[in-house]
Amino acid sequence: MKQLLLVFLGGGLGSALRFGISKYANNIENGIPYGTFAVNILGSLLIGIVLGLALKNNSISQNTLLFVATGFCGGFTTFSAFAYESHVFLKSGDLASFALYALGTFIVGFAAVFFGLWLVKVI
């Protein structure tokens, strides 16, 4: 029950922060939804750092991993918003923005996870 509560609280905090950033930074009618892009990249970097620290020195408890990685990062990042925003680009025929946003999210997102893991190794 404690683990479920940790995931719930972390997810709520992540979701609230994502909402604030997206509300401030997204304007899908006029271009790339930078807020969603930013939270997905930052969440990828954070999960890379947290999991890298956990692997590096076992100093992060299972409860902390559940709160931060599963809860916060799970609530903070959003595949559903990414998928919808990509759909909007395709529906409007804006293939250039779709390609830039989709490829950018995948490539930079993966790179952020790997960078977070690498960063922990060198620190």
The predicted pLDDT at position 59 comes to 79
56: containing domain: 2-22+33-122
Write phi, then psi, for 31 (nearest 5 degrees): 145, -165
Question: 28: pLDDT confidence band, cut at 50, 70 and 90?
Answer: low
- Structural domain includes residue 90: yes
Q: How far apart are CA 68 and CA 24, in angstroms?
A: 23
Q: pLDDT, tens digit, for every residue of 77-118? A: 988 889 989 998 999 999 999 999 999 999 999 999 999 999
- Structural domain includes residue 40: yes
- Structural domain includes residue 91: yes
- What is each CA distance from 58 to 2, 53, 61, in whole angstroms? 21, 7, 8
- Residue 78: count of CB within 10 angstroms of its CB: 21
- Structural domain includes residue 27: no
- Residue 27's region, left for phi above 0, alpha for psi from -120 to 50, else beta, is beta
Number of domains comprising the chain: 1
Question: 40: pLDDT confidence band, cut at 50, 70 and 90?
Answer: very high
Write phi, then psi, for 26 (nearest 5 degrees): -85, 140
- Structural domain includes residue 110: yes
The predicted pLDDT at position 84 comes to 85
Q: Which of 46, 123, 38 has its CA nearest to residue 78? A: 38
- Structural domain includes residue 82: yes
- Percentage of the chain modeled with pLDDT above 70: 98
The answer to whether the beta carbons of residues 67 and 50 sit under 8 Å apart is no
